Amino acid sequence: MSQATESPILSLRSRIRGDVVGATDGEYDERRRVWNGNIDRRPLVVARCLDEADVQAAVRFATEQGLEVAVRGGAHSHVRGLGG
C-alpha cells in the first residue's frame, strides 16, 4: 500500500474507537467478505464501528475522501434459532 493510501487510513484509525482494516492488514480478506460469495469487493478500508460516534466519524471520513460507503449489518436477524 502506498504512503498516500496509508495516510488516510491512519487518519480514520485516529478518529474511531473500532477497528480499521486496510488491504495490507492480515485480517483484511476475512473482514471484507460478505455472505454472498458471488460478490468480491475490495474496499480501501473496512471500519468496524463500535457506536454511533464511530459511524458518524466513518461517514465524515468517507465524504472528505470522496469514497463510496457500503454498510454491512452485524448479522442480526429477526428470525430466532431453535430453542430461542
pLDDT, one tens digit per residue, over 5-38 is 568 889 999 999 999 998 888 888 777 776 666 7
Assign residue 39 the CATH number of its domain: 3.30.43.10
Would 11 be classed as within a structural domain? yes
pLDDT at residue 75 is higher than 60: no
pLDDT at residue 84 is higher than 50: no
- 83 vs 28 pLDDT, higher one: 28
Would 77 be classed as within a structural domain? no
Would 72 be classed as within a structural domain? no
Cβ partners under 8 Å of residue 42, min gap 6: 23, 32
The number of folded domains in the chain is: 1
Instruction: Give residue 60's domain range.
Output: 3-65
Would 80 be classed as within a structural domain? no
Would 84 be classed as within a structural domain? no
Would 50 be classed as within a structural domain? yes
Give Cα separations from 7 to 10, 14, 15, 41, 59 (angstroms): 5, 11, 13, 21, 17
Would 21 be classed as within a structural domain? yes
pLDDT at residue 76 is higher than 70: no
